[in-house]
Amino acid sequence: MSAPMSAKAAVNSALVEWNGTRGLPRFDAFADTDFEAAFDAALAAHDAEIDVIAGRAEASSFANTIVALELAGEALSRVSAIFGLRAGAHTNEVIQTLERAIAPKLARHSSKIGMNVALFARVDALWEGRARLDLTLEETRVLERHWKGFVFAGAKLPKPEQERLAKIDEQLASLGARFGQNVLADESSWSLLLSEGAELEGLPGFLLESMAAAARERKADGKFAVTLSRSIIEPFLTFSTRRELREEAFRAWVARGENGGATDNRALIRETLQLREDKAKLLGYATYAEWKLDDTMAKTPAAVKQLLETVWVEAAARAKEEEADIAAKIAEEGKSHDVMPWDWRHYAEKIRGQRFDFSEAELKPYLQLEMMILACFQVADRLFGLEVVEVPGVAAYHPDVRTFEVRGRDGELMAIFLGDYFARSSKFSGAWMSALQSQHRLPTAARPKGEMPIVYNVCNFAKPAVGKRALLSLDDARTLFHEFGHALHGMLSSVTYPSVAGTHVARDFVELPSQLYEHWLTVPAVLEKFAVHHETGAPMPKELLDKVLAARTFDSGFHTLEFLSSALVDMAFHTRPPTDDPMAVQTEVLAAIGMPRAIVMRHATPHFQHVFAGDSYSAGYYSYLWSEVLDADAFAAFEEAGNPFDPVLAGKLQKNVYSVGGSVDPADAYKAFRGRMPTVEAVLRKKGLSKSS
């Protein structure tokens, strides 16, 4: 069911009628200024569809209410998908201005639907009578999702409280958009320009090439730019021998969102936390965390806290040993300064080189982006029978974006995949996966077999100079595999209803397919084939490969505390009453857990975009660790089988994890694959923190 778009002449149909290559939008057929009119028309069309569903005279049925809701709003979904992609991966002043305007408008639209009395009455009748409807498991899950969506939107509240809730959601949408834009502004406006000579001491060639390219982008030819892109700042902190420059760059990195002036996020955080508390109370929950965890595997803040604190004890002990090793290394060099955060990566790299006899600089020439992309694709082929082939000459939203066809064992086109790999000033930092179009099998007039997924990955690897190959760190390569694992979750989806397709799963289950896929990067057979030198083509020497594998858990205390501290602060914010000074909460939590002075949160509060640039991971950053417990145990099944590509296990993995989306309970899905649920011991072994590891 799809209502016609408004007939306004200003509406560019290319935003909703996707007739480009392989069903993609024709990105070259619309301008940034076309979005506003398209949003207005799409919102009006969706309103009309909702009015039809809510106003039907016949009794509510699954088909005339739930299926109709599943198919409604196609035009809005399409405009929103393209706009969301642009806002995150290739933004500008026009897009950002519209984002600030459209975010509250979309929230208002969603609230209006959620508080539609007649519509909720139809859904509620189905929910109350579900036992008589003879629904499949997937249909029951879809009905539950819609019913809970209405309840969480305030459908059961009195009118004044509904209006208050709608206003809160509108304000939160505005705050989230501003938060993210402020972080991007701080990231894109800062750089440290260095000159030839002493300022570049210790920096390897691959990093100098990336810094030179970043300087050229900033119209500073002949200079070398340290930027706040992780693919440049982290190797700079690792290799630069100039401690004062490391400190300057580090302080800028951790100060994003906390620099005073127009881009300072601290006031936005305070307002966000208060509004979230108000929202939770309106919906009948004691805290915002209890509301957010209602539909997750963890269920309660207490369960989350127990997991985080259990791992913290082991990781803190390991980090203390690591810091002592760094202090000893500093003394060995005849220096007397304390271990500070801008020292850790630098000296850890020296210790790793000494202990395992290799360095990141020695490893990086073997990790070409192009070969690692092929490695991602071949692992998908060996596990799931997928063939991924590039389609040249497709005009996407930026010249760097690449388009691929994904075909199954029978040769049928299953999905389209877009890869956007390089950092640029118009792109938010970090890496993510999303979908322009989700898979489903509901027939429509235009698509009788439903929709094929169109999925994209966005990364921020340093772009090489013209004619040079892009080289990755081991962490970069893991990121590539991680995001492609998310992409596979979307592309292998095989469900009937779009609301439970692909990554539409519990927040603390969504990271399982991505984190699990990372394991195949370090399968020896994968590195032996794809880790080849960018100049000679020679495979990584077995001796170096063995060292890389032996060092997999090196510095695990440091990396685990970076993450855990962020997760614990996130949970504290959303289980405590709001305060006028959220930064004091961060300080208090870090003091209470004994955060080492030499380690900082992976995401300090003023630039914690997972939590404050929207609410996807608010009271949910812990989910990476929750999923890591699952992924460690899941890959252990392949290790126990003695074959990382065991076809029986791969088939069970595809059937029960990658393809079912949210159509089954996540615990049931995992147990169908593994036969049981794991314990925290699995992740401690993976990180090398277990006494038995």
> What does the alpha-carbon distance between residue 432 and residue 85 come to, in Å, rounded to a whole number?
11
Distance CA 647, CA 171 (A): 50
Inter-residue contact 477 to 449 (CB < 8 Å): no
Residue found by looking up tokens 């855990």 in the block: 564
> 3-state secondary structure string, 43-88?
HHHHHHHHHHHHCCCCCCCHHHHHHHHHHCCHHHHHHHHHHHHHHH
| C-alpha to C-alpha distance for 125 and 133, rounded to whole angstroms | 11
For residue 278, the one-letter residue type is D
**Complete DSSP assignment for 21-50:** GGG---GGG--GGGHHHHHHHHHHHHHHHH
To the query of whether residue 321 is one of the catalytic residues in this protein, the response is no
Q: Given the residues 99, 258, 483, 562, select the one marked as catalytic.
A: 483
Q: For residue 410, how many other CB atoms are within 10 A of its CB?
A: 7
**Residue with the two structure tokens 């990566």:** 345
DSSP 522: G
Q: Which residue has the tokens 């991680």?
A: 482
The answer to whether the beta carbons of residues 15 and 38 sit under 8 Å apart is yes
Residues 339, 327: contact at Cβ < 8 Å?
yes
Distance CA 567, CA 621 (A): 5
Give the single-character DSSP code of 501: S
Q: What element of type H or E holds 387?
A: strand 387-390
Neighbouring CB atoms inside 10 A of 424's CB total 16
Rounded to whole angstroms, how far apart are CA atoms 489 and 618?
22
Residue recorded with tokens 């500070």? 340
Contact of 304 with 297, CB cutoff 8 Å: no
Whole-angstrom CA distances from 582 to 66, 269, 271, 608 are: 41, 7, 10, 13
The Cα 70–Cα 82 span in angstroms is 19
In whole angstroms, what is the distance from residue 411 CA to residue 63 CA? 33
By CB atoms closer than 10 A (0-12, 13-18, 19+), residue 530 is buried
Question: How far apart (Å, rounded) are the C-alpha atoms in residues 141 and 135?
Answer: 9
Catalytic residue numbers read 483
